[in-house]
Structure 1
Amino acid sequence: MKIIFILSSLLFCVALGAKPTETTFGQVSVEVNTHVVQLEFADTYELRSQGLMYRKSLCAQCGMLFYYNQSKTGSMWMRNTFIPLDVAFIRKDGVITDISAMQPHDESITASSEEVLYAWEMNQGWFKRNGIAVGDTVTIKE
């Protein structure tokens, strides 16, 4: 019964757009072309749901890697997200299938064109500035 109350309260707060408590993410290293980047790692449903929401800024080399647990059509939205982001969807074999720009507070769905295992978010324009494109292969070191 206590669990139902807690879950109901959390859902109510989310529905109202309330900011949840601070979430702690793990870290993961990602390598593509000549770039190695340390990212926050969202590898559970709860962490993927929180993502980069409520952040007012993101350092130049900061980002987040979302792990879906199994290959599927990846999808993202920007509810409660204040930072313009790009998302790169990554297949199980590490190949980037799509890179899409996303705007703050846009609740439309950005989806992958293929089944993917990961989604990688960075500041908007980061992939282009660093010469990273669809078809490049990413190595993920957990």
Structure 2
Amino acid sequence: MNLQRSTLSAGMHQIDAQLAVTPAQRQTGLMFRKEMPQGEGMLFIFEEPVQQCFWMKNTLLPLTAAFVADDGTIVNLADMKPQTTDSHCSKKPVRYVLEMNVGWFAKKGIKAGSRLRGQVFQASK
């Protein structure tokens, strides 16, 4: 899939985020991909904030999901194992979920309460 991209920042760290905006893009997500460069991720954008739950049934990469509030604040993070059907859910309603390679957030010291910045978060206001 050739998805639209947006640059996000987490402190001094840049993220090249593919945007999954339509229901079909969100449903496919990162399934079946064998690799994803460091510093790249996928931002799932939903119409309105609700509790979001993700699983990894056909996803081959270990990922960390950041559940993100409208203002870019990370609500919670969840490490997800490839090819599992375990549900990983936001602790409160969110509109955004950013998936990155597992360990990326931890290596950068980014955790719940950290703030992501980018044009996409301004558009939701």
The question of a shared fold, defined as TM-score above 0.5 by the shorter chain, is answered with: yes
Q: In structure 1, what is the Cα distance between the partners aligned to 2:40 and 2:5?
A: 11
- The residue matched to 1:114 in structure 2 has which SS? coil
Contact 2:76 2:90 in 1 (8 A): yes
**Counterpart in the other structure of 1:84:** 62
Tell me which protein shows more helix as a share of its residues.
Answer: 1
In our comparison, the structure showing a higher alpha carbon Rg is 1
Unaligned runs of 5+ in 1: 1-22
Contact 2:70 2:95 in 1 (8 A): yes
**Counterpart in the other structure of 1:137:** 115
Contact 2:52 2:93 in 1 (8 A): yes
Q: In structure 2, what is the Cα distance between the partners aligned to 1:34 and 1:69?
A: 28
**Counterpart in the other structure of 2:25:** 47
Q: Scaled by the length of structure 1, what TM-score is found? A: 0.81
**Aligned-residue offset at 1:78:** 0.2
**Aligned-residue offset at 1:140:** 2.3
RMSD, matched Cα? 0.9
Q: In structure 1, what is the Cα distance between the partners aligned to 2:81 and 2:25?
A: 21
Amino acid at match of 2:107: R
Unaligned runs of 5+ in 2: 121-125
Q: Would you say how many aligned residue pairs link Structure 1 and Structure 2?
A: 120
> Which of the pair has the greater relative contact order for Cα pairs under 8 Å at 6+ separation?
2
After superposition, the C-alpha distances for 1:9-60 in whole angstroms (9 at most, x for unaligned) are xxxxxxxxxxxxxx22110111111112111100111100010000011111
**Counterpart in the other structure of 1:24:** 2
Q: In structure 2, what is the Cα distance between the partners aligned to 1:27 and 1:52?
A: 14
Contact 2:14 2:39 in 1 (8 A): no
After superposition, the C-alpha distances for 1:85-120 in whole angstroms (9 at most, x for unaligned) are 000000112110001100000111110000111000
Runs (4+) of structure 1 exceeding 2 A deviation are none
**Counterpart in the other structure of 2:40:** 62
Amino acid at match of 1:125: G
State the percentage of identical aligned residues. 32
Q: Scaled by the length of structure 2, what TM-score is found? A: 0.92
**Counterpart in the other structure of 1:126:** 104
**Counterpart in the other structure of 2:16:** 38
